[in-house]
Structure 1
Amino acid sequence: MKKAIALLLAASMTLSLAACGGGGGGSSTPDSSSGDSEVVELTYWYSWTDKIQENNINLVNQFNETVGKEKGIHVTAEYQGTYVDLHQKLQAAYISGTVPDVTVMEIASIKTFAENGVLEPLSPYIERDNIDMDDFYEGLLTNCQVDGTWYGLPYLRSTPILYMNTTLLEKAGLDPAGPKNWEELAQYCKTIKEETGAYGLSMYSYIWVLEAFLLGNGTSVLNPEETKTNIADEKSIEAIQFFKDLKDQGYIRCVAGADSTKIDADYINQNCAMWFTSTANLSNILANAKENNFEVNTCFIPGNGQYGVPTGGCNLIMTSKISDEHKEAAWEFIKWMTSPEQAAYASEYTGYVPSRKSATATDRIQKLYESTPQFKVALDQLELYGHGRPMNPGYAQASNEIVAALDAIWVNGADTVSTLQETAAKVDKLLAE
């Protein structure tokens, strides 16, 4: 187990056990407001701050005041940093026996943790309570199963999309609906730079967005069996060279994967007109745009002859090292958090896509899409072109190698073909371990 999870967490900082949050497998505590009755105390771990943190806290409070109060369950939400931080802490907590009851988990990590016994199978609960899995969008379910068993339910799920400062686009005389393909994307970048002085696009070396570029060019980072990489095939080289050429021409800005925050500064200061990031950032981006006096639109990730996009975000999982009483209570919490009304609330509050079709049909989401159509773009992209993410345990470390190659090519001017060929050899070895 330690070796397998270490592959997933290869890029992480060394973790001290003392950094773990509270445990979840402990005993119930008396409820002072209800006499002799006892309340099952659950611990819930989540990632990210800002609107995402607010959403988690709000939903936990709503659960505690309604279903939790009715069924004698109280949930304490604990922030654990990024997904990588949380996964590190969960690994250590599992070894020490102080796991949370419920936690978010980045979708590509489900298989590694499930195969090593950290996750409780949810299939028995889903079957017992007749949860309609067909109500979840198909593109979100790939990373919820391992060998036919459900280990997670879609929670805060996303796709990358293209964001555009339409104030700059209109200044450059461009259609604010945005580019539909690579040819138009290149023309937008050139025109924006020449007409406004801003970069057409600011981007960083990001494996998730690269997955979208490759899907949109008829290939993928890994083969279907996840045993070999396609990173050095003709279509992958074409995709990566496309952005290198735009950077070399001065039309776009490329920064290293470790410098991703520079993209935020670029768009906020209107030093770029377009940028790629998650739909989960939409609420914050709209607020930043309003504060800095520019308008924002969103569109699909432009493709080259086709569209394709990976899904991302997190599922809710139950840990295995908790009592049966806690498992039943944890399931009640997971079931409530992923129900249509809560899925609609989370989508409106954050910008994540609604995970369920019935959530999209609610008045809350229909009114949101009518008033702010930027929110609907990611859902349309998901429904038509969504794909799962690789779950090979070696993919996290392999991703680091690919990001390093993108840094070398896009930022430091390395040769595309030879760099990707060298990277492919390293990635294939990691996938086989």
Structure 2
Amino acid sequence: MRTNLDRRHFLGLAGLGAGAAALAACGGPSTAGTADAVDTATIDFSGVKPAASIDFWTNHPGKSQDVEKAIIEKFHAKFPDIKVNLVTAGANYEEIAQKFQTSQAAKTGLPGLVVLSDVWWFRYYSNGSIIPIDGLVKQLDIKIDDFQKSLVDDYKYEDKQWALPYGRSTPLFYYNKDHFKAAGLPDRAPATWQEFAEWAPKLKATSGAQYAYIYPALAGYAGWTLQNNLWGWGGSWSKDWDITCDSPQSVAALQWAQDSIYKDGWAGVSSKEAADDFAAGITSSTISSTGSLLGVLKAAKFNVGVGFLPGGPEAPSGVCPTGGAGLGIPSGISKEEQLAAATFLKFMTEPENTAAFSAATGYMPTRLSADMSAVLAATPQIKTAMDQLAATKVQDNARVFLPGADQEMAKSAAKILTQQGDVQATMNELKKTLEGIYTKDVKPKLEA
């Protein structure tokens, strides 16, 4: 399954991920093109006047509706001739994708600016649904060099910029400090899952919680968070374009996870949202996005600790993916609307506003010059996520570039973790499914 296109050429990225909101396991948009391909060489905004009104489609990642409203009010004060209408376009990234696909097909009702997750943006590009923003970046003097490089590079392809980072995150290890103290454990996240396995019986015996650890809901981003386990054991969903979910290392990682539930009895699986289960005291620890941090701190009636994701027997560190979403501009709207959208995009991602967004949600600041001193003073846990950026790893191609793969991974994880299905057989079947997606939906585009 190899092509001559390596990952750096394919995306030029340094880290991908997914968003904070738990997703329903829906299919997302089709990969068939619904818009004419964008002739990127002819986009010229000289002499164009911004439109008087645009819609901003968002799912309010990290419960960010209030801060989004506040930023829009500030924008209106500075740019009174451009009205931005805040539109709740879905409860999660998948719902936005469905709505965006429908509007693209109908060629009507498109937004000026749309939230797009890293799992979906390449499909928007390949369908001709979004424009490169390089010309707008130059015209509006957007300081690309001031963005976190690993985050802004997520949205590059063929030396063009297709979006800017917005709500960006890493998964964090959340733990109940009170439970850890009662169990006589160190006040920190475990260095490895093997270390946590030694701690778990003590937590189960002393905490009064149902679980020592709870796995994130499988209908959400199982493919995202389980990479931590796979990588720690030396496994992966894929190596470049070779599907490796059935490798001995990958199977061993998932067998360990299954054993923690059924054999060892100290772990469970969240039915809806692991962060909520943790805040409610159902479990002593979990993994969840930084986008859940503010909500957890507000809801929890105990002392909350956060730390880097644990390593495994083969890779004790560097086993954390980044995640989150960016902001893109549709191709099927007028240049006037595109320029207005870019004007708002620039404002939305200014250092002051990215700091405000981080303060309200727990997402990482996307700008290097963002003054985070007040944010970190109020919520020092955010610094853990910022520090963990240096220990992140590029996600597996299979998880972020194969359309619908995340849902297939979630189905397989459910068989293993909630139905005690045979791990090797389940991964063998998943490999066939992922290879089929690659052959049908991705390989033809890579070789075009």
Shorter-chain TM-score tier: 0.7 to 0.9
Amino acid across the alignment from 1:137: Q
1:272 match: secondary structure: coil
Q: Is the 8 A contact 1:103 1:318 kept in 2?
A: yes
**What's 1:336 paired with?**
347
Kept after mapping to 1: 8 A contact 2:237/2:396: no
Q: CA offsets, 1:63-97, max 9 Å, x none?
A: 1122x22xx21101000121111110001111112
Q: Secondary structure at 1:173's aligned position in 2?
A: coil
Q: Whole-Å Cα distance in 2 between the matches of residues 213 and 334 of structure 1? A: 36
In structure 1, stretches of 5+ residues that fail to align are 1-8, 16-36
How has the CA–CA distance of structure 1 residues 129 and 41 changed in structure 2, closer, same or farther, with 3 Å as cutoff? closer
* Aligned match for 1:367, one of 370, 374, 383: 374
Tell me what 1:209 maps to. Answer: 225
Aligned to 1:175: 186
| Alpha-carbon distance between aligned partners in 1 of 2:75 and 2:396, rounded to the nearest angstrom | 30
Contact 1:247 1:410 in 2 (8 A): yes
The C-alpha deviation readout for 1:130-171, integer Å capped at 9, x for no partner, is 434332223313431122211100011111111111111111
State the secondary structure of the residue aligned to 2:375. helix
SS at match of 2:369: helix
Question: Does structure 1 residue 251 correspond to structure 2 residue 266?
Answer: yes
Q: Quick one: which of 312, 324, 327 aligns to 1:316?
A: 327
Q: How does 1:93-242 map to 2 (within 5 A)?
A: 93-97=103-107, 98-198=109-209, 199-203=211-215, 204-205=217-218, 206-224=222-240, 227-242=241-256
1:299 corresponds in structure 2 to 307
Cα deviation, 1:180-214, whole Å, max 9, x if unaligned, reads: 11122212222201222421101133111012333
Q: Which amino acid aligns with 1:47?
A: N
| Long gaps (5+) in structure 2 | 1-22, 30-48, 441-448
What is the alpha-carbon distance in structure 2 between the residues aligned to residue 118 and residue 389 of structure 1? 24
2:193–2:311 Cα contact (<8 Å) kept: yes
**Match of 1:6?**
none
User: In structure 1, the residue corresponding to 2:421 is in which secondary structure?
Assistant: coil
CA distance in 1, matches of 2:294, 2:404: 31
Shift of 1:372: 2.5
For 2:309 and 2:203, the matched residues in 1 are separated by 18
8 Å contact kept, 2:50–2:336: no
Contact 1:164 1:275 in 2 (8 A): yes
Range that drifts further, 39-48 or 379-388: 379-388
For the pair 1:421 / 2:428, whether they are aligned, the reply is yes
Q: Name the % identity.
A: 27
Q: Are 1:45 and 2:61 matched, yes or no?
A: no
* 8 A Cα contact 2:275 2:288, kept in partner: no
What is the letter of the counterpart of residue 141 of structure 1?
V
Question: What is the DSSP-based 3-state SS (H/G/I as helix, E as strand, rest coil) of the residue aligned with 2:404?
Answer: helix
Paired residues, number: 388
Q: 3-state DSSP class of the match of 2:425?
A: helix
Is 1:88 matched up with 2:108?
no
Q: Go from structure 1 to structure 2 and tell me whether the alpha carbon gap of 1:394 and 1:331 turns closer, same or farther (over 3 Å shift).
A: closer
CA deviations 1:267-317 (Å, max 9, x no partner) are: 23312100111100111110001xxx2110111111122222222111010
Q: Are 1:430 and 2:440 an aligned pair?
A: no
Shift of 1:39: 6.6
Higher helix share: 1
Change (3 A) 1:42 1:388: farther
CA 1:195–1:432 in 2, change beyond 3 Å: closer, same or farther?
same
Asked if 2 retains the 8 angstrom alpha-carbon contact of 1:108 and 1:391, the reply is no
CA RMSD of aligned residues (A): 2.4
1:403 aligns with 2:418: no
Q: Deviations over 1:79-118 (max 9, x none)?
A: 0121111110001111112211111101121111011111
Q: State how far apart, in whole Å, the 1-side matches of 2:352 and 2:60 are.
A: 22
Q: Give the TM-score of the pair, scaled to structure 1.
A: 0.84
Q: In 2, distance between residues paired with 1:55 and 1:319?
A: 24
- 1:410 Cα offset (Å): 1.1
Larger mean CA deviation between 269-278 and 193-202 belongs to: 193-202
Q: 1:56 aligns with which of 62, 68, 75?
A: 68
Please state how far the C-alpha of 1:124 moved relative to its aligned partner.
1.6
Q: 1:137 to 1:412 in 2, by over 3 A?
A: same
Change (3 A) 1:87 1:368: same
Cα distance between partner residues in 1 of 2:376 and 2:258? 36
Match of 2:9 in 1: none
Q: How far apart, CA to CA, are the structure 1 residues paired with 2:286 and 2:322?
A: 18
Residues 212-259 of structure 1 deviation map (CA, whole Å, 9 limit, x = unaligned): 3333444432222xx33221112212221221121121111124xxx3
TM-score by length of 2: 0.81
1:416 & 1:294 partners in 2: Cα distance? Answer: 36
Shift of 1:265: 5.0
Letter in 2 for 1:65: A
Alignment partners' CA distance in 2, 1:14 and 1:303: 32
SS at match of 2:374: helix
| C-alpha separation in 2, matches of 1:14 and 1:421 | 24
